[in-house]
Amino acid sequence: MGFGRVAEKELDLIQRIVGSERMSTGDSVLDLHGKDESFHTRRRPDVVAWPLRAEEISQILRMANERRIPVTPWGAGTSLEGNPIPVNGGIVLDLQQMNHVIELREEDLQVRAEVGVIYKELNQYLSRYGLFFPPDPGAAASIGGMVGNNASGVRTIKYGATKDFVLSMVVVLPTGEIIRIGTNAMKSSSGYDLCRLFVGSEGTLGVATEVTLRLIGLPAEFMAAVVQFSAIRNATNTVSQIMRSGLSPAALELLDTQTVQVVNRYKNLSLEEKPTLFIEFHGMSPTGLKEELEVVKEICADNQSIRLDSGIGREQRNRLWEARYDVHESIKASNPGFSSLVIDTAVPISKYPDMVEWGQKVLAKHGLKGYAFGHAGSGNLHMEIVGVPEQEDEWQKVQGAGEEIVSFALECQGTATGEHGIGIGKRKFMRREHGKSLDVMEQIKKLLDPNGIMNPGKIFE
Ligand SMILES: Cc1cc2nc3c(=O)[nH]c(=O)nc-3n(C[C@H](O)[C@H](O)[C@H](O)COP(=O)(O)OP(=O)(O)OC[C@H]3O[C@@H](n4cnc5c(N)ncnc54)[C@H](O)[C@@H]3O)c2cc1C
295 CA to centre of own chain: 31
Q: What is the pLDDT of residue 1?
A: 62
Cβ(340) to ligand 1 under 6 A? no
Q: What is the pLDDT of residue 128?
A: 97
Mean pLDDT of 368-380: 97
Cβ(110) to ligand 1 under 6 A? no
Pairing between strand 101-105 and 178-182? unpaired
Mean pLDDT of 98-102: 98
Give CA–CA dist 214/201, Å, rounded: 20
- Does the pLDDT at position 313 exceed 80? no
pLDDT band with cut points at 50, 70 and 90 for residue 381: very high
Residue with CA nearest ligand 1 atom 34: 148
Give CA–CA dist 370/436, Å, rounded: 34
Cβ(80) to ligand 1 under 6 A? yes
What's the gap in Å between 442 CA and the centre of ligand 1? 22
Mean pLDDT of 72-95: 98
Pairing between strand 276-283 and 251-255? antiparallel
Beta-carbon-side half-sphere exposure of residue 336 (alpha carbons within 13 Å): 0
Task: Check: CB of residue 223 under 8 Å from CB of residue 293.
Answer: yes
The pTM score is 0.97
Residue with CA nearest ligand 1 atom 11: 151
Mean pLDDT of 181-195: 97
Report CA dihedral (97, 71, 390, 362) to the nearest 10 degrees: 90
Q: What is the pLDDT of residue 318?
A: 87
Q: What is the pLDDT of residue 15?
A: 98
Cβ(144) to ligand 1 under 6 A? yes
Residue with CA nearest ligand 1 atom 7: 137
pLDDT band with cut points at 50, 70 and 90 for residue 179: very high
Q: What is the DSSP string of 405-459?
A: HHHHHHHTT-BSBSSS--TTTTGGGHHHHHTTHHHHHHHHHHHH-TT--BSTTSS
Lowest mean pLDDT among 60-69, 144-153, 278-287, 375-384: 278-287
> What is the DSSP secondary structure assignment for residue 172, as one 8-state letter?
E
- Does the pLDDT at position 150 exceed 90? yes
Summary mean pLDDT of the chain: 96
pLDDT more than 70, % of the chain: 100
How many CB atoms within 10 Å of residue 62?
Answer: 17
Residues in the chain: 461
What's the gap in Å between 40 CA and the centre of ligand 1? 15
Cβ(457) to ligand 1 under 6 A? no
Cβ(145) to ligand 1 under 6 A? yes
pLDDT tens sequence across 13-40 = 999 999 999 999 999 999 999 999 999 9
Cβ(94) to ligand 1 under 6 A? no
